[in-house]
Structure 1
Amino acid sequence: MWRSSGRGEGVDGRWCSAGGRASGRTERGAEPPVVHHAADRQVSVVHRVIVAAGGRDRQRGRREPGHGPDVCQDRGRAPVCEQPVSVILLVRHGQASFGEADYDVLSPTGFRQAEVVGASLAARGVHVDRAVSGGLARQRDTARAALAAAGSDVVARVDPRWDEYDHTPVYDDYAAGGVPVERAEAARGFQDRLEVALHAWAGGATGTGLRPEWAEFSSAVTAATDAVADGLGSGETVVVFTSGGVISAVCARLLALPPDATVAFNRVVVNAGITKIVHGRRGSTLVSFNDHAHFEGAHADLLTYR
């Protein structure tokens, strides 16, 4: 199992056993915890999802204790990192235009969220080596605004395999019955309808109103994730701007959970939240999900789910 007596991770993606740039102490040979951002209000959601889905707390490419991914070791007074791990940051797009004629447009709040998450990456000392975006307008616009706010001159490469599923038919069916005027109430009503469709969709049912079918969607997400991981150089950080359903599918896969677990993850994904994956010689590991500490305090008014 994963053992840690603290966060144990520096912003540069290195796992250290003492001191250094880490924010806590991690036992020698320990793997990173599944979730390490104490400020994240959803800090235990991964474990709740595992229980709800009937799965086990398993990581893709799990190692036995003492064989962690490129960990640092104490050699005298300062830790020596044998090799830094590479990092994939999955950033959900900012708030789109729910209830409007064109959903695929960032709202004013969505643009501000993109700027805040970009500034947060810069404040954490994250150096963006490469960036990837899905092909949807809300994903591409989030990428541009976030990278600019991060002070990065990197241009996101577009890969449509990071696109979200299309929920338009489900929304149209919901709207046919009349949509509440109050936005929050309308969003809750649609979420209930959407989750029914998502459960059936992830279970392999057809005719759910979600496009493409689950098999095609999940295959594209897997291929996109593997392509980014395989292209990582040692110690590199790649930021991927995508959507909640995609991020949820990636998390379920990395934890070896059944497809249905995607629905539970998807329910709580925050706009412009950050999910972190580290990649080393032995594979990819989910270390944090849905971090949105940047929407606490002064930016608490920017916290949205839809």
Structure 2
Amino acid sequence: MSELVLVRHAQASFGEADYDRLSPLGHEQAARLGAALALQGFAPDRVFLGGQRRHRETLEGMAPALGLDPERAVVHEGLNEFDAQALLEARFPGGLSEEQRRDRRTYFRILRETVIAWQKDEIDNPPESFSAFTARVLAARDAMVAASDAAGGPVLAVSSGGAISRLLADALSAPAEQMILLQLQMKNCAVSRLVGGSDARYLHAFNETPHLRERADARLLTYA
């Protein structure tokens, strides 16, 4: 039976010109998650990650405690996030206002509505069709399942909320719009797990935070 351990990247740089890098808090989250998983005795047989900087920096933070070499990880572009900024620009050619981009509640409400419109093919000239996004994410899943089956042990994957949520929604046979609803609940460095055989995957865990063990850890609880 294959086991996929899916980790959402640590806190990136929301609101900054370059989102695709971890914040100082994100680096701390990644190191804490690696240590927490090591205490559980977690030892992946294969490691995958997306091709984005925040994925690699998260893995690099986790790696020392887990005894992993990030350079040996398999980079699979199917684990990359959909391009939210380009998708919003396709829906709003004039772009969002500075206030809309800076206010998290407003931004994520607009993002939710935009993703649902994208899934319904209601946005002209998106950077990537929803069907293409789904195909590449599921291709990454199939590659990881094959690696888990071959190795006989769990596969660790570091990815993003949208890609992971698409995998979870597929495992649940949920409507497409469930993807963004799962995504907006997903914490930074949250751990979700899929288990199953060659013909089916099942949700075994969702949005776990083993690195948050005490009340004092509340500062490490972030969503963006």
Q: Structures share a fold, TM > 0.5?
A: yes
Q: 1:99 aligns with which of 15, 24, 37?
A: 15
Give, in whole Å, the separation in 1 of the partners of 2:65 and 2:124: 41
Distance change in 2, residues 1:296/1:143 (3 Å): same
Residue pair 1:105, 1:137 contacting (<8 A) in 2 also: yes
Shift in Å at residue 148 of structure 1? 2.0
Alignment pair present for 1:272 and 2:192: no
- Superposition map of 1:135-174 within 5 A: 135-153=51-69, 155-169=72-86
Cα RMSD for the two superposed structures: 2.2
Instruction: Say if 2:48 and 2:158, in contact at 8 Å, map to a contact too.
Output: yes
Instruction: Report the secondary structure of 1:252's partner residue.
Output: helix
One-letter identity of the residue aligned with 1:220: R
**Other-structure match for 2:46:** 130
Provide the rounded CA distance (Å) in 2 between the counterparts of 1:268 and 1:227.
Answer: 26
Q: Aligned partner of 2:56: which letter?
A: R
- Contact 1:92/1:242 (CA < 8 Å) preserved in 2? yes
Q: 1:211 to 1:151 in 2, by over 3 A?
A: same
Give the drift of 1:143. 1.3
Residue 109 of structure 2 is aligned to residue 179 of structure 1: no
Unaligned runs of 5+ in 1: 1-84
Q: Which 4+ runs in 1 deviate beyond 6 A?
A: none
* Structure 2 contact 45–153 (Cα < 8 Å) conserved: yes
Check the 8 A contact 1:117/1:146 in 2, yes or no. yes
The Cα offsets for residues 143-184 of structure 1, whole Å up to 9 and x where unpaired, read as 121122323346321111110000113566597423279x6x
Moved more, 296-305 or 149-158: 149-158
Structure (1 or 2) with the greater helix fraction: 2
Structure 1 residue 201: Cα displacement: 1.1
- Structure 1 equivalent of residue 167 of structure 2: 250
The match for 1:240 is 157
Listed as ranges, the gaps of 5+ residues in structure 2 are: none
- Distance of 2:208 and 2:34 partners within structure 1: 13
Confirm whether residue 291 of structure 1 aligns to residue 208 of structure 2: yes
Which SS does the other structure have where 2:98 is aligned? coil
1:263 lines up with 2:183 in the alignment: no
Residues in 1 aligned to 2:157 and 2:30: alpha-carbon distance in whole angstroms: 13
Distance 1:281 1:260, change over 3 A: closer
Does structure 1 retain, via aligned residues, the 8 Å contact 2:34–2:64?
yes
- The 1:238/1:108 distance shift into structure 2, 3 A limit, reads same
Give the counterpart letter for 1:206 in structure 2. Answer: I
Alpha-carbon contact 1:96-1:105 (below 8 Å) kept: yes
Secondary structure of the residue that 2:127 maps to in structure 1? coil
CA radius of gyration, larger in: 1
Q: Percent identity?
A: 34
User: Taking CA–CA contacts closer than 8 Å with sequence separation of 6 or more, which of the two structures ends up with the larger relative contact order?
Assistant: 2
How far, CA to CA, are the matches of 2:124 and 2:184 in structure 1? 22
Report the count of equivalent residues.
Answer: 218
Inter-partner Cα distance in structure 1 for 2:30 and 2:155: 17
TM-score normalised over the length of structure 2: 0.89
How far the C-alpha of 1:294 sits from its partner, in A, is 2.0
The separation in 1 between residues aligned to 2:177 and 2:167, in whole angstroms, is 12
